[in-house]
Amino acid sequence: MSAERPPRPPRLAALLVRWRLPADLSDAVAGDLHEEYALRVAPSRGPWAADLWYWGQALTLRAGALRRVSRRLKAMRPTWERNRPQRVGRDQPDLWSRIPMRPEDFKYAIRRLARSPGFTLVAVLSLALGIGANTAMFSLVNAVLIRHMPVRAPEELVEVYTSEGDGYPYATSSHPDYLDLRQNNDVFAGLVGTRTFIGRMDRGAEPEVMFGEAISWDYFAVLGVPMELGRSFLPEEDASPGTHPVVILGYKTWTEKFGADPGVVGKDVRLGGRAYTIVGVAPKAFTGSMPVMVTGLFVPLMMTGEIMPGAADQLDRRGSRSMFLKARLNPGVTVAQANASLEAIAVGLAERYPETNEARSITALPSSDVALHPMVDKAAVPVAALLLGVVGLVLLIACANLASFLLARAEDRRKEIAIRLALGAGRAALVRQLLVETTMLAVLGGAAGIVLANWTLDLLMSFQPPLPVPVDFDISLDRTVLWFTAGVSLFAGLAFGLAPALQATNPDVAPTLKNEGTGGGRPKRFNLRSGLVVTQVAFSFVLLIGAGLFVRSLQKAQTIDTGFYTGPAALLWPVPELSGYETQEEARAVMDEYVQRLLAHPAVTGVALADRLPLGAGIQTRGYVVPGVPSESVDGDWDIDNATVSPSYFDVMDVAIVQGRGFEPSDLEGDPVLVVSEAFVQRFYPGEDVIGRSLETAGGSRLRIVGVARDTKVRTLGEAPRPYVYQSVRNSHFFDHQVVVRGRGSSAEVLGVARSVLRDVDPDMVVMDAKTMNEHLALMLFAPRMGALLLAVFGALALLLAAIGIYGVVSYAVAKRTREMGIRLSLGASAADVVAMAVAGGMRLVVVGGVVGVVLAAGVTWAIKGFLYGIGATDLVTFAVIPVLLSGVALVAAFVPARRASAVDPVAALRRE
């Protein structure tokens, strides 16, 4: 039997000693410490106390002591150099000066990796999973938050906002204010305005709904965006309302709808029933002002009333604020100077137009500081950080696997390395070669990761939120993403390949060449590979607990009482303004006919109209003056969520009237009336009877309260009861109302009936949205569903990688202890005893990692508590189930190689060297 390996000091402490000593003296000092540790301290004190002693020596080797040792050794150098034993391969003057890589290192690395295809494949796939997940998530974050518009000199651009009357600083602006800013400022080289719209383009049998922007004539010129084809708008085309029907196509519209026809300029296309002349095509890189949408059409601002008939008067109303403003600073003008000028202009506007502009400020922010919108960014940045943190943990787990593989490979190559050192190879050269191998693995993993990232992004983009217009933005792997992937790959290869390289090139040459310590003796209780497995298990716990919290939250969200009917029903959104109906009377007539036809259908039990449904995509508020309850707003009113609904709404939506009454047909012709929610009463008139009280709108109309309705969820599932006001549908426009249809049968069948009846009424009616009630509610469940899906996928990936790490550690331990297993079996131990011993070694690491992981999870899950419904960030069920799940997987991963150990042939094991 081979002699037992002499005890070795802690590896990190030994490296610390060498690092703090001059290169030409480190061997002597470190050798003395090593000898004293092995021959005197370890036998007398035991391994733990000996390790503490060595750490004490390393840490107390301060600058003064180092200088004294250095002077003494230098004085002895002539004799010492002649008499010291030569340790082959340790006489390099500077380890790190020889690290730069050489072409022959790459050739050698390729040969080594080709000889071990199984190892190479597993290592590359492990890294590809981690790097691919990081690349995909970073590509999303880059597309939404980092990538800037492809414009000229983007550092000169600023976003211009007008504040609300309640002090909210980042609201949109009105068209009259925009014109005043253009004429009176002296800090902008150009100021442009834009507003979004959803229009109808008539091509072929079916009209197509398109996302577009109405822009000022010099929009492309100020931004510095050249046309792909044709030209931009001319000043006269944006001078008077409705006189110049011209359009610029987005690049995607041009390629997908017009086949990239180079002769498209000058042709006509029908938008909203009117012919528009195509004058240009936007470039491919420019997708519009909205980062998460691709603009299909651009029309002049003066065509707003034509493309959106319900907004025809918004160009003249100073109080109608729906425009986004962007400006280019004059040369030498700073943002602070621009804000000073804007403040003076805002004061002047408030003096001239106090009814609309009093106490309103105008602010400019650098465009480089705004990704989506200042307030949206505040919510988006933490979500982006959370996603990147999650995939970062996956990458760390994958890198820990790589380091574990490399450590096992280093142990298998100990004799090879020792022979090369004995033959005179320098340690720096060997480290360099090993780092080249790991770097090549990382590069291969990065290349495979890019392929996986592309697949992942395509999959993610297939999960669309249930919105009328699909979310569409550029998630291509641009230069920024590719640089990120390259950096992550190099970091993975170098950072996690360095420790195995240093360990592999630091063997005890003589014992290794004599095969001492290569199969006998008890392994260390804890080493670097064990630490990596503990890290993997801990991080896996964090990810799995996060996924479990989202899954539990999704379950809770689906059981939350919304306060309204969520059974079989269909929701249709016909848009008369995009279907050729120009007046309110025409729109009312066609909608009345549609409702009557629906009610006459035997499968329909109820129909209601509403301009806004609870838990929809948008937020709709209106200013109301509440008598006796002063507001902090300058206008003296309260912004309260509201909806205009038909009299049948409360019955169809199953919203109970708890006091007073709902709307009646007679209310449609009489004085305007209101129904308010219970939360409204509790907020403004707690404990009082509100029936008969009146509210006043910002426009001066008085509306009498006739009923109190039960509270419903309004904006989100997790919100507290919110004040809500219902107005009669006859007091509003018919252009924006959705139709709620209840009927017999499934929601899909009801939706089919609603569509069929609408085709009978007007086959050319543009339908902005058509969905079931379940699909409507899916919008609010989209975020928790996506969170649960993403974290579950990444958690499962982390669990798989951790299981591979545990399997590897147990397999390696079994392989290193084959002779010991044979001895135990030959002395009468049962196969079950051997399996239990091997499994116990792996499960100890799982227990340690689990404890660390649970503590970490308890400390970091507070970051997602704002995304959870009905549970806390330390949900006991989740924290109890996940450890059981991970322990079960780990037990299987440890059992497989342990079971193999029990089948070892004792005779063959004892003969093995």
Nearest in space to 494 (alpha carbons), one of 550, 437, 423: 437
> Which range has the worst mean pLDDT, 142-151, 500-509, 610-619?
500-509
> How far is Cα 203 from Cα 205, in angstroms, rounded to an integer?
7
Is the pLDDT at 19 greater than 70? The verdict is no
Residue 83 reports pLDDT greater than 50: no
For residue 511, what pLDDT is reported? 54
The closest of 465, 805, 450 to 618, measured between CA atoms, is: 465
Q: How far apart are CA 597 and CA 83, in angstroms?
A: 109
Does pLDDT of 37 surpass 60?
yes
The 8-class DSSP code of residue 226 comes to: -
- CB-CB contact of 536 with 849 (8 Å): yes
Q: What percent of the chain has pLDDT over 90?
A: 25
576: confidence class by pLDDT, cuts 50, 70, 90? confident
Output the pLDDT for position 745.
87
The pLDDT of residue 247: 96
Residues 167-179: pLDDT tens digits? 678 888 999 999 9
| Residue 558: Cβ within 10 Å count | 14
* Region of poorest pLDDT, from 388-392, 552-556, 664-668: 664-668
Query: Rounded to an integer, what distance in angstroms lies between the CA atom of residue 798 and that of residue 129?
Result: 10
Confidence of residue 787 (pLDDT cuts 50, 70, 90): confident
Q: Is the pLDDT of residue 740 over 90?
A: yes
Q: Is the pTM higher than 0.85?
A: no
More confident site: 405 or 98: 405
- 591-595, 764-768, 862-866, range with the lowest pLDDT: 862-866
Angstrom distance (rounded) from CA 336 to CA 906: 82
pLDDT of residue 656: 94
Which residues does residue 625 pair with via DSSP β-bridges, in sequence order? 696
Whole-angstrom distance, CA of residue 77 vs CA of residue 82:
8
Query: Which band of pLDDT confidence, cut at 50, 70 and 90, is reported for residue 558?
Result: confident
Is the pLDDT at 866 greater than 60, yes or no? yes
Say which residue the tokens 């017009």 belong to.
258
> How confident is the model at residue 176, as a pLDDT?
92
Task: Take residue 728 and report the two structure tokens written for it.
Answer: 């009669």
Q: Mean pLDDT across the stretch 132-156?
A: 87
Lowest-confidence segment of 50-64, 352-366, 472-486 by average pLDDT: 50-64
pLDDT(81) > 50: no
pLDDT category at 625 given cuts 50, 70, 90 is: confident
Question: CA 671 to CA 666: how far, in whole Å?
Answer: 9
Give CA–CA dist 661/734, Å, rounded: 24
Contact 721, 614 (CB under 8 A): no
Distant-in-sequence, close-in-space partners of 910: CB < 8 Å, separation ≥ 6: 819, 822, 823, 826
Residue 178: per-residue pLDDT:
94
For residue 239, the one-letter residue type is: A
**pLDDT given at position 299:** 96
Q: What is the pLDDT of residue 339?
A: 94
| Burial letters 71-84, b for 16+ CB under 10 A, else e | eebeeeeeeeeeee
H/E/C letters for each residue in 782-827? HHHHHHHHHHHHHHHHHHHHHHHHHHHHHHHHHHHCHHHHHHHHHC
Quick check: 76 pLDDT over 50?
no
Residue 483: count other Cβ atoms within 10 Å of its Cβ. Answer: 10
DSSP secondary-structure letter at 25?
Answer: T
Choice between 139 and 328, residue whose per-residue pLDDT is larger: 328
Better-scored residue on pLDDT, 668 or 897: 897
Lookup: tokens for 733: 């426009």
Structure-model confidence comparison of residues 745 and 577, the more confident one: 745
Q: What is the DSSP letter of 469?
A: S
884-911: average pLDDT: 75
Q: What is the DSSP string of 277-344?
A: EEEEE--TT---S-TTS---EEEEGGGHHHHSGGGTTTTT-TT-EEEEEEEEEPTT--HHHHHHHHHH
Q: pLDDT tens digits, residue range 448-490?
A: 989 988 888 888 777 777 666 667 767 777 888 888 888 888 8
Q: What is the spatial distance between Cα 911 and Cα 913, in angstroms, rounded to a whole number? A: 6
pLDDT tens for 824-838 read 777 777 778 877 887
Written as six digits, the tokens of 245 are: 């029907």
Average pLDDT, the chain: 81
User: Would the pLDDT of 680 be above 80?
Assistant: yes
Separation of alpha carbons 661 and 565, rounded Å: 19
Cβ atoms of residues 418 and 507 within 8 Å: yes
Q: What is the pLDDT of residue 334?
A: 94
Q: What is the pLDDT of residue 905?
A: 63
Token digits of residue 317 = 């109303």
Residues with Cβ within 8 Å of 494's Cβ and at least 6 positions away in sequence, in order, are 435, 438, 439, 442
Q: According to the model, what pLDDT value does residue 811 have? A: 75
d(Cα 647, Cα 292) in Å, to the nearest integer?
38
Task: Annotate 21-35 with b (16+ C-beta within 10 A) or e (fewer).
Answer: beebbbbbbbeebbe
130 token code pair: 């981690």
CB-hemisphere CA count at 13 Å for 595? 20
Q: Pairing relation of β-strands 268-271 and 207-215?
A: unpaired
**Whole-angstrom Cα distance, residue 484 to residue 312?**
47
Model confidence pLDDT, tens digit, residues 312-344 = 677 888 878 889 999 999 999 999 999 999 999
pLDDT (0 to 100) of residue 493: 82
Smallest Cα–Cα separation from 180: which of 195, 164, 191, 168?
Answer: 191
CA 490 to chain centre: 23
Judge whether residue 437 has pLDDT over 60. Answer: yes
| Mean of pLDDT values over 33-47 | 75
Q: State the pLDDT at residue 73.
A: 46
Confidence at residue 1, expressed as pLDDT on a 0 to 100 scale = 41
What pLDDT digit, counting tens, does each position of 703-735 carry?
899 999 999 998 888 888 999 999 987 655 555
Query: Residue 714's closest CA among 638, 644, 649, 620?
Result: 620
Higher pLDDT among residues 291 and 229, named by residue: 229
| pLDDT above 50 (res 677) | yes
**DSSP string covering 706-740, please?**
EEEEPP---S-TTPPP--EEEEEGGGS-STT-EEE
- Cα–Cα distance list, 537 to 401, 449, 786 (Å): 11, 23, 24
Going by their DSSP bridges, the two strands 246-249 and 621-625 should be labelled as unpaired
Count of C-beta atoms within a 10 Å radius of residue 767 = 19
pLDDT at residue 585 is higher than 50: yes
pLDDT in tens, 2-17: 445 667 777 777 777 7
Q: Which of 263-277, 429-443, 623-637 has the highest mean pLDDT?
A: 263-277
Helix, coil or strand: residue 660? strand
With CA atoms as reference, report the closest residue to 738 among 775, 697, 699.
Answer: 775
Q: For the residues 397-405, what does the mean pLDDT come to?
A: 81
How far is it, in rounded angstroms, from Cα 561 to Cα 571? 20
HSE value, Cβ hemisphere, 13 Å, CA-based, for 109: 23
Cβ(65)–Cβ(20) below 8 Å: no
Better-predicted residue by pLDDT, 414 or 672 = 672
Find the mean pLDDT for residues 857-875. 81
Higher pLDDT, residue 100 or 591: 591
Is the confidence at residue 522, as pLDDT, over 70? no
Q: 545 by DSSP, 3-state: which?
A: helix
